[in-house]
Amino acid sequence: MSYSSDSEPDPELLELLRQHLQGKTATPTAAETGVLESAEFVYNHAIDVALDMRGCKKAAETIWTQMQQREYSPATWSTHELHPKAADGEETVKFIFAMDILNFSFWSEKDDAEQRFQVEYKGERWTGYWSLVAGLQRALEEGIPITDPAFWINESQFTPDVLRNVFRSATDEEMPLLQERFDCLREAGQVLHEKYDGSVIDLIDAANGSAAALVNLLASDFPCFADIHPHPGRRQPIRILKRAQILVADLWACFEGQSYGSFNDIDKITMFADYRVPQMLWQLNCLLYGPTLEAAVREKSMIEHGSEWEMQLRACSIWCVELIRREIIRAHPEAKGKVNAVLIDFFLYDAVKELEAEGGEGIPHHRTRSIWY
């Protein structure tokens, strides 16, 4: 850029200013997922789900206290025996990518726990989310490259029957939505091949260290991650993005914020709106259900995907965890930088699974069958 005297306007500087005022400059803007704004909108217009602010405040104190007692941190993720370890580097990244493509809808319609879908691995039977992780680990040990995106697009080697064998059940009930899971893997493998040279690492690198940018890339490039839904009262669709966000969170936790899990804006990730965490938020007296909705949940009635009830349950849970996060930091300033929505979600999920094992659930989880959660 040239320099001129104070009395003469610099034409290059004027052009730069003109472009800036007209919005033509290439100033980078921080990525936003839009999830929190979507959740707040649904919460503000919700009729059948509400928040108990006293309950949220009490829950915030309970959660923070227990997280400290348990020394809850990103490192807790790897202490689960089935989770892959960061030391395996790129193979672990591929495992997490495959895992979160398939991380949806494990609940069983059978009341008898012994009859529910289970994966037998290392002398134990695993249910729910852990059946997914156990199935993937078992397949790798059996020489099936189930976490390799190149395998997913090999039409002669990867078939629905192969996936059925990967997740073969120790009971008569098979894993729900097996065909949909197969379709998700095939589709993701094709997108990776076409846009990212078949590499999950290249996909992560494209986000330039931004958690929000990676979530947005997953949502825009991979239809199976596009957990985005129309709302009659809003021009823009509602962005929930459960599996896109949990993929980023799992990378961050597994690698403890380093290497492939290094993100400069991890606090932009919200909780992951599923069917288990809302159940725990109700248990903590944070979420309140209207009488008709509560009756449907208790009766284990199917709640249609995309319905007002389902949207309110998911979005209000996101907003609830955000308010809990804010209350923890307000009451305990030392928690800033130590607690975020990711860790609160992980904690609540572990807590509700412990409650289930003890038979202490006060209400069932809601029933919606979809690929989104």
* Residues involved in catalysis: 274
| Other C-beta atoms lying within 10 Å of the C-beta of residue 164 | 16
Cα–Cα distances in angstroms (integers) from residue 258 to residues 166, 203, 247, in the given order: 31, 17, 15
Residue type, 328: I
What lies within 8 Å, CB to CB, of 231 at 6+ separation is 41, 42, 237, 238, 311
d(C-alpha 245, C-alpha 90), whole Å = 19
d(CA 211, CA 263): 5
Q: Judge whether 177 and 369 are in contact, CB under 8 Å.
A: yes
Q: Give me 307's structure tokens.
A: 């319905």
Provide the token pair at 37: 């704004």
118: how many CB neighbours lie within 10 A of its CB?
22
